[in-house]
Structures are given as structure tokens and as C-alpha cells.
Amino acid sequence: MSAKILDGKWVRDQIFGELAPRVARLAAAKRPPGLAVVLVGNDPASEIYVRGKIKACGDLGIYSEKITPPASISTEDLLGIIEGLNQRNEIDGILVQVPLPKQVDTRRVLVSIHPQKDVDGFHPFNVGSLVANIPGPRACTPAGIIEMLRRYEIPIARKNAVVVGRSDIVGKPVALLLLHESATVTICHSKTSNLPEECRRADILVAAIGKPAFIKGDFIKPGATVIDVGQNRGADGKGLVGDVDPEAMRERSGAYTPVPGGVGPLTIAMLMNNTVNSAERRLCSA
């Protein structure tokens, strides 16, 4: 029996279909949700990501604004831009595209975003809400992974989940979300002893280590669900390669996310979801 392909575009389209009437209701009653995206400098990959986010806003009827300071901007000047956006009532979400130039203190900038407008879910206040399982913005890629599993009706409770990678953006938050769904969770990383053996215990294996095709066939329990978060450039500099060997993933898994077309589309979908949620909270409490 061949493995099931978990199609991120199918899930994204479902989420967009659910968001569109919510956006329309807000626009009719008061105003559309508003998202500000801050893109510093001219990093080509960042420009592509931002373009996709702005397009999604347009497709859904969300007001979007792109702010493009020069790559030479100082931390203080960027903080001033963020504070201005914090004060604007028509902006419900603020996203600062990373990476930022070396002279900018990324942590200070991200923490300066008001927690209610932190649609990336990176602010310590929102991370604390995630740890305590209190409602609030969740990091977009991890939230998208949970939506993927739910909508494909892949059981999480009482399953063994292994997360390879411990980043603040994906590894840690997805481990917490899986834990809140009653999985038994193991977090692995570069210092983990006998990584293949740990991974083979997984009913759900999440690869978010940032190394192309690092996870081989002997890491994968036959029939496991494999979520490949990797977005690595191919050896020729073109195309995308995941963190899991694609042939091994197809042959050994029961279900898997392809690269591209798996987890990627869900990151933007959950950003839109966080923006609409923020608008509803702010407008309903006004």
C-alpha cells in the first residue's frame, strides 16, 4: 500500500475558505483585518516569502501594508517603526520578516511588537500562553502542522511523536502543541545519542533540523506519519529539498508531507488565521 501524500495546498484552501466569510463579516461591520509586514533590505528569499503573504491578504480581503526600510537601518529606528504600528488601530497584526541585518538586534525588535499584534506567535507573552495552553497566537508553521494532522484525521493522542530540531520557531512550539494534543513527545537535536533509534519510535516524526535529506530510511518506523518541515536549497541552488530523504519517506511512511507543497502553504494560512483572530479580538472588545 502506497503512502498517503499530505497536501498542504488542500488544507490551506480549506482554511482560506473558512476565513473568507469571517473577513467579510468584519469588513461589513467595522473594517477588514489589517496586517503590516516589515521587510528590511533586499534579501531575495525574504522578498519571495513576503510576496506570498501579501498575495494571501489580497485573496482574502485583508488590508495589508508592506514597509521596506533600508538594510542599513539601526535597531532604534526599526523599533520606532514598530512602535508606530503598535499605535495604529487599523493594524491588527505586525510581522517582521527575518533574518534581519547583522547590526539589528532581532530579539529586541520582535519583543517590541505588542503581544496582541504578534501574529507570528514569537513574543515571550504568547510563548508563555502556549506553554500554559492558554488561547493566543501560535507560531504559524507548528500550528499548521497540527491543522494538517487534524484535517487528515491522523490520530495524535496516545501516539509517540518525535521532533527533530529544537528551534524557537518550529521545534519547541510543535513539541508543545503535540503534547497538548496528548501525544508522548520526544525532542531530539544535534547532541542526541543514537538519533536513528529515537526516531524509529515515532508514530509521528517531525523533521525540522535544517539539513537536506538528513533523515534516512533507517530513521523511519514503517507506517509512521512523517512531517518534513525542511526548506533547503537544492545542490544546484534551485528547487527545495526537505530534511528527509524523499525516496525513503515515500517507501517507509504511512503518510508524509512532500517538499514543496506540504508544510509550506500552511505557514501562510496560519498567519492569515492569526491575523483574523487578532482583528476579531480587538474589534469585538472595542
- Residues with catalytic roles: 53, 97, 120
Cell of 153: 484525521
DSSP secondary structure code for residue 208 in this structure: -
What nine digits make up the cell of 257?
A: 508531507
Pairwise CA distance, residues 174 & 188, whole Å: 13
Question: Residue 258 and residue 226: Cα distance in Å, rounded?
Answer: 9
C-alpha cell at 201: 519510535
Residue 202 to residues 160, 178, 241, 242, 245, Cα–Cα distance (Å)? 5, 12, 22, 18, 16
Of 119, 116, 117, the closest CA to residue 141 belongs to 119
**Contact in structure between 6 and 148 (CB atoms under 8 Å):** yes
Pinpoint the alpha helices (H) of the chain: 8-29, 44-60, 75-87, 106-112, 124-131, 140-151, 171-180, 195-199, 246-252, 264-285
Please provide the size of the chain in residues: 286
Q: Which residues contact 153 (CB under 8 A, 6 or more apart)?
A: none
| Residue in this structure with the C-alpha cell 503512502, named with its chain if needed | 3
Cα–Cα distance between 44 and 238 in angstroms, integer? 13
Residue located via cell numbers 503581544: 115
The answer to whether the beta carbons of residues 138 and 273 sit under 8 Å apart is no
